[in-house]
Amino acid sequence: MNKVEIFFHPEATDEYVASYVWYYERGPHLAEAFEHEIERALRLVVDAPDRWRIYIGKYRKILVKRFPFSIVYTNTETGIVVIAVAHGNRKPGYWKKRNKFKH
């Protein structure tokens, strides 16, 4: 079985890091829990990328447990592309104008 690769859009990486730092400043245990739940959601996506319904266009999203975030992604021939690590209070679809990137 081939290993599925996960690629993060640079802005999705920035969102993840900023959120991790925010939680870390409130307590390292919160940052660790946040990281664990993000990793858990990504494992679920890798195991069954088409399990979550289409959200906008070709993108799907999975909600992150215990935290007000979702991971917006698409399944491509080369792997899973995470386009956003979106906080629930952000405007839906704010990430749609993100430039494509090579992975």
Every domain of the chain and the residues it spans: 6-88
CATH class, range 6-88: alpha beta
Token digits of residue 30: 């919160």
Q: Stretch 30-39: mean pLDDT, rounded?
A: 98
Query: Long-range contacts: 99-102, Cβ < 8 Å, 24+?
Result: 101/9, 101/10
12's CB contacts (< 8 A; 6+ apart) are 72, 82, 83, 84, 85, 95
Mean pLDDT score, 39-54: 95
pTM of the entire predicted model: 0.91
Q: How many whole angstroms separate alpha carbon 85 and alpha carbon 34?
A: 12
Q: Is the pLDDT of residue 102 over 70?
A: no
Q: Two tokens at 100?
A: 């494509």
Q: Percent of the chain beyond pLDDT 70?
A: 95
Q: Where are the alpha helices (DSSP H) in the chain?
A: 10-26, 28-47
Token pair 């209070």 in the structure block, residue: 89
What is the rounded average pLDDT for all residues in the chain? 92
Contacts of 96 (CB under 8 A, 6+ apart): 56, 57
